[in-house]
Amino acid sequence: MCGFVCLWNVGDETLATRMITKIAHRGPDAVEVIEGRGKPVVMAHCRLSIIGPEDGSQPIYQDDDLLVANGEIYNHADLRAILGESAFETESDSEAILHMFRSGELRWVSRLDGMFAFVLATRERIIAARDPLGIKPLYMARIGDGLAFASELKAFDGLHLTGIEAIPPGSLFDSKDGPRRWYRTPHGAAEPEEDLDVEATARELRLVLEEAVTKWMVADVEVGAFLSGGLDSSIIAALAARAAPGRLKTFSVGAEGSPDLRAARRVAAHIGSDHHEYAFTAEDVAAVLPHVIYHLESADVDLVRSAVPTHFAARLAREHVKAVLTGEGADELFAGYGYHHAYVDTPRELADELTRSLNAMHNINLQRVDRITMAESLEARTPFLDRDLIDFAQSIPATLKLRRTDPGALESTGETTEKWILRKACADLLPTDLVWRKKAQFDEGSGTVEMLEAALMKRAGADAPLDRAAEGALYEGLLRAAYEDADFILENAGTWDSPDRVDPDAA
């Protein structure tokens, strides 16, 4: 996991150094700046060593090709076997990107399985690409006739550049052939086929989940897990505890006595993890808000609310590990948000909404997870967003994800049960009352809403809770104070707003 900057047809090492310094928190283990020989490119890279820590430094320079990458290629061992080990000069998973490009395959980037963003330069062209759902960020801007690429928007702050945009998820920009979309999220199924075996579907989902967690734990360092006590993180932690080579470390945060802390302790005891927790206060929240908003690169109310507990969890985890698994993606795949219940009788609309929300994650929850964990030099991994798991989950009909249920039945969380098939597939992993526990938003179950209310009153000098508009204005003020040129940050910021999405606070 890393951060990088690339300048094409600019050739300014001083500028590249200035830009990489602003995102050096993404990779504290090493920082390097290289100017390409015989090509108009400068690349800068800051490294958090996870795979190949001894010899995986970047930029990777071989012959006439230069590469910087961020993320993890989980099938790099398979690609090495296919391409031939003799071609590789390091143990870094990122090197597989370079050799896949050199293989000459027309759709070579589609062979990369993982979360990644990269820029690759040859003598004649520059190529930039991003993973299927945009787990890892990548931005591009114009500098005269040249281009600048960076892992975070803050790298561009104060440069007064134009045309800043995100490389879309599942897309590739090629200075020779132009942009193209190399991955499209499969559309979700609505109704079951006539002969669908529900029990067999649940069993297969479990196998795909187990495979995804095992794959996303590949590392040369210890991998821990966030554990909120909710269903998603508990499933991931339970599967990871079985796959971990040693005792899994888990991390939970919340207000003292909050439901999440209590539930997380139970899950940790059940799976036998080495559990760590931190109880934060309103004073803690007030103190970290400027830091959180600066790194989040957004003043969106819902994103900030969920980013606060993520910050405390990331800070706690980084004291013990360099990488963690998270439960992000389960809500979008299996209908886990409160507003989804309105679709219980319209499965086609639900399937369409889940597909839409998957495609929007890069600018919302995935932006939060990436920025806030990387601010603490921690790699966050999202096994629910494994490509094979996405493909299988999207083939499961929406009627098995959100169901009308008998509130008194065992396999129920009320009159309608969200993530029904996921709960059924993993029911043996956790205590029954936790599997069928009613869901709470991370910021609600952790006690963040109450802590924020008090923290915002303190910051604003108010004697009554701030309404949503005032809360958003306060966040924007903190963001503007943190940046020299805040307008372009706000223009590109993640936001929950969508004409197709119900307000999450309304359900």
Distance separating alpha carbons of residues 359 and 171, to the nearest angstrom = 12
How many angstroms separate the Cα of 437 from the Cα of each of 267, 299, 419? 13, 31, 11
CA–chain centroid gap for 110, Å, is 19
Contact residues for 444 (Cβ-Cβ < 8 A; gap 6+): none
Q: 180 pairs with which residues across the strands?
A: 172
Q: 418 pairs with which residues across the strands?
A: 402
The answer to whether the CB of 32 falls within 8 A of the CB of 44 is yes
Report which of 374, 381, 377, 419 is spatially closest to residue 400, judged by C-alpha positions: 419
In the numeric block, which tokens belong to residue 151? 């892992």
CA–chain centroid gap for 371, Å, is 9
Residue found by looking up tokens 């061992």 in the block: 77
426 is catalytic: no
In the numeric block, which tokens belong to residue 212? 């995804």
Phi, psi angles (nearest 5°) of residue 177: -110, -5
Report which of 429, 487, 503, 448 is spatially closest to residue 157, judged by C-alpha positions: 487
Helices (runs of H) and strands (runs of E) counted in the chain: 19, 19
Neighbours of 165 (CB within 10 A): 12
In sequence order, what E strands does 194-247 have?
Answer: 223-226
List the catalytic residue out of 2, 6, 46, 426: 2
The answer to whether the CB of 391 falls within 8 A of the CB of 186 is yes
Report which of 98, 121, 116 is spatially closest to residue 44, judged by C-alpha positions: 121
C-alpha angle 75-76-79 in degrees, rounded to nearest 5: 90
Residue found by looking up tokens 């979360």 in the block: 115
Contact residues for 355 (Cβ-Cβ < 8 A; gap 6+): 185, 187, 188, 394
Q: 6 pairs with which residues across the strands?
A: 43, 149
Active site residues: 2
